[in-house]
Amino acid sequence: MKRVLLVSVAALVAAAGLAGCGSSEKAKEKAAATTGAAEARSAKDLGGMDALVAAAKKEGQLNVITLPHDWANYGEILKKFSEKYGIKINEANPDGSSADEINAVKNLKGQDRAPDVLDLGSAFAISAAKEGLLAPYKVEKWDEIPANQKDADGQWFNDYGGYVSIGCDAKKIAVCPQTFADLLKPEYKGKVALNGNPTKSGSAFAGVYAAALANGGTFDNIQPGIDFFGKLKASGNYIPVESTPATIEKGETPISIDWDYLNAGYADKFKDKGIDWKVAVPADGKYANYYNQAINKTAPHPAAARLWEEFLYSDEGQNLWLKGYARPVRLPKMVAAKTAKGDLVGKLPKVEGEPKFPTPDQITAVKKVLADSWTKAVQG
């Protein structure tokens, strides 16, 4: 595998008239290999998967950011990847937001601790691509990702997704809300939260988008969602506390608007802790979307970054997301090929109809509206 990977390196060494196996030669080889990986747009560019694996193992490390272990089964995914390839994973800011990821790429550029890979909400993936922060790369399963769920050049591509849902502690709430309209009822005063600030968090952004659809908005018009949360805040029902597993367990956020895979995961997580966590996908605001994988254009471990993506889009990686109640992007193809684990598919929260997604231009436009209006709508 090493021989295949370093063919170009050997040529460079010969051209420079170098000989021997001293430390300087090894350093040059490593630098050249890293440069080749950083420019690779597919595993084929490096000589195939065996060569990519060899290069990634040589780097020996992968920097990830904002991957909570209880989010879509990321804890197990990180463990499996590290064990499979013998690559150390350095984790940063697990409870951060998509905005934090982008800031880390900018602020840590050129440093060994900069993130190699990103997991971004759609609005943030699109903006990062426009800023030239992402490296184009196409995994081996590229053709199984629908065209409308990836950047044509491979700067970002959908990984796993779900529907906006309402989670509720049925032991603290007599009647759990089923719709966005329900959330305005007076019995929910001081109990409704989002998973973060929608100007920074992909999940919270989706919650506002879903609320817009529930109140006469469209993919082009998020304002009704902003107005809804303004009304919810004025009534005292909405609390600007980021909903997390910790706040749920403490009873601080007994009603949480979040992705269905997170809420479904919490139902399992808290079953033995006296919390009866119920999950409902609101019929009046049915909104689905995916997060996106991306590679930092200046990743300090470019081969490991690309191998990480290949692992995530393999059947093994996709089934690990599925285990976390998330809908992996290749799921339709895997169901047809019978490579998706049927017992896991059967546990997904039930939703009627096929999801529709906003376009990148629509997301970019409503993101600006949200940035300009959110704080004013919920202040006070």
- Cα 15 to chain center, whole Å? 44
Question: Rounded to whole angstroms, how far apart are CA atoms 153 and 138?
Answer: 8
pLDDT at 14: 31
pLDDT of amino acid 23 = 52
Kindly report the pTM of this predicted structure. 0.79
Q: pLDDT value at position 350?
A: 80
Q: Are the C-beta atoms of residues 81 and 311 closer than 8 Å to each other?
A: yes
- SS3 percent helix, strand, coil of the chain, rounded to 5, is 50, 15, 35
| DSSP H helical ranges for the chain | 2-5, 7-15, 23-39, 49-59, 74-85, 98-107, 122-130, 202-214, 223-234, 245-250, 260-269, 302-313, 315-323, 331-337, 342-345, 360-378
How many residues belong to the chain? Answer: 380
Quote the CA–CA distance of 170 and 175 in Å, as a whole number: 7
pLDDT number for residue 370:
96
Task: Enter the tokens of residue 350.
Answer: 């039930």
- In this structure, what are the phi and psi dihedrals at residue 157, rounded to the nearest 5 degrees? -155, 140
Q: What is the largest CA-CA distance in the chain?
A: 80
> Which residue in the block uniquely carries the two structure tokens 């603290």?
172
Q: Hey, where are the domains in the chain?
A: 161-289+357-378
Lookup result for tokens 């597993």: 245
- DSSP-assigned beta bridge partners for residue 31: none
- Say what the pLDDT of residue 154 is: 98
End-to-end CA distance of the chain: 61
Residue 355 sits at the vertex; the CA angle it makes with 65 and 193, to the nearest 5 degrees, is: 55
Locate 26 and state its tokens.
Answer: 């090894």
Both tokens of 176, joined, read 């759990």
- pLDDT for position 380: 58
Name the 3-class secondary structure at 314: coil
Half-sphere exposure of 49 (CA within 13 A, CB side): 9
* Dihedral pair phi/psi, residue 277, rounded to 5°: -85, 115
CATH number for the domain formed by residue range(s) 161-289+357-378: 3.40.190.10
Phi, psi for 20 (deg, rounded to 5): 85, 180
Token representation of residue 30? 């490593």
Mean pLDDT split into 10-residue runs, the chain, 380 residues: 29 32 51 74 97 97 96 97 98 94 98 98 93 98 95 97 96 97 98 95 94 97 98 97 95 96 92 93 93 97 98 98 96 97 90 83 94 90
369, amino acid identity: V
pLDDT of residue 36: 87
Kindly give, in sequence order, each residue whose CB lies less than 8 Å from that of residue 243, ignoring residues fewer than 6 positions away.
Answer: 193, 194, 195, 196, 253, 256, 257, 258
